[in-house]
Amino acid sequence: MGGGVRFISLKDFLAGTKINDGELVALVMSDWNIIRFRNSQLSRNLPNDIVQGLVAMRENDQYVDVFAPAENEIIVDAGAYIGDTALRFLKWGGDKVAKIYSFELDPGNAAKYEENLRAFRGKVQLVEKGTWDKDETITISSGGAGSRIDGEGDITSGLTTIDSVVGDERVTFIKMDVEGAELKSLTGARNTIIKNHPRLAVCVYHKVRDIYELPEYILSLVPEYRFYLRHYSSNGWETVLYAEVPK
């Protein structure tokens, strides 16, 4: 196959990525280069699908481009959607992933999750509830990837705490994308965070206050946590707060 424009990372280029005849390959070497390109006249003169391809490459790295997998990873996937992130974690960690607890409150999404993760039933456990600071039954508005707790929808679902589900498991990683319920969900994971110091990847773009309230709450539990912030899209979505306790 030849022709077209393809964006690749400098790392992939140096590793020997094949370049097809007639193909133009552009290197994306840093976040700053991405921002500059999107704001340039050049990007406005290119077809939109080519410009979007640059950003889509970064979205595929979300949650797995900051931390290296550790042995016996026990992962909490809060806001599992249809299993796309669970599959990404399984690819990222391979045999190092011992178990994934996935929480999804939308029944439609949960059914698709079961279908997509059928081959990994020995490693994944789907909890068909949302994460919260207590057990509760609520109504939700179903919106696919944007399903959320609002008490105004027509679908009945349940909420629970991460602490009550994982119990004494040695959780190593917690990912949260729960449409504005992140603070409540962290509160429901309080004991797990204090006891295990898991690495965290928490979305902070759903509510204006999350970008400072969530790290403040995490530090109130474990003051040793240190933070990273990354953004993965060309709009206001997909800003992720990463946290870890240095070894």
Per-residue pLDDT of 44-82, as tens digits, reads 555 554 444 444 445 578 999 999 999 999 999 999 999
* Type of residue found at 45: N
In this prediction, residue 2 carries a pLDDT of 44
Is 64 part of a structural domain of the chain?
Answer: no
The contacts of residue 14 (CB under 8 Å, 6+ apart) are none
Is 96 part of a structural domain of the chain?
Answer: yes
User: Cα separation of 155 and 165, whole Å?
Assistant: 23
* Type of residue found at 83: G
pLDDT per residue rounded down to tens, the chain (247 residues): 344 556 666 566 667 667 666 665 565 545 555 555 555 554 555 555 444 444 444 557 899 999 999 999 999 999 999 999 999 999 999 999 999 999 999 999 999 999 999 999 999 999 999 999 999 998 877 655 445 555 566 788 899 999 999 999 999 999 999 989 999 999 999 999 999 999 999 999 989 899 999 999 999 999 999 999 888 765 667 889 999 999 8
Distances (CA, A) of 176 to 9, 23, 46, 149, 234: 27, 38, 35, 14, 20
| Residue 44 shares a structural domain with residue 78 | no
Q: Total structural domains in the chain?
A: 2
User: Cα separation of 158 and 223, whole Å?
Assistant: 32
Is 65 part of a structural domain of the chain?
Answer: no
| Residue 219 shares a structural domain with residue 108 | yes
| Residue 44 shares a structural domain with residue 88 | no
Distances (CA, A) of 179 to 89, 145, 205: 20, 9, 9
| Residue 99 shares a structural domain with residue 29 | no
| Residue 86 shares a structural domain with residue 55 | no
31-38 and 48-59 helices, crossing angle to 10°: 160
| Residue 169 shares a structural domain with residue 196 | yes
| Residue 27 shares a structural domain with residue 147 | no
Surface-to-core class of residue 230, CB atoms within 10 Å of its CB (0-12 exposed, 13-18 middle, 19+ buried): middle
User: Cα separation of 206 and 96, whole Å?
Assistant: 31
Is 68 part of a structural domain of the chain?
Answer: no
The domain in which residue 151 lies consists of 73-244
| Residue 139 shares a structural domain with residue 169 | yes
User: Cα separation of 189 and 183, whole Å?
Assistant: 10
User: Cα separation of 74 and 166, whole Å?
Assistant: 10
The owner of tokens 């027509």 is 154
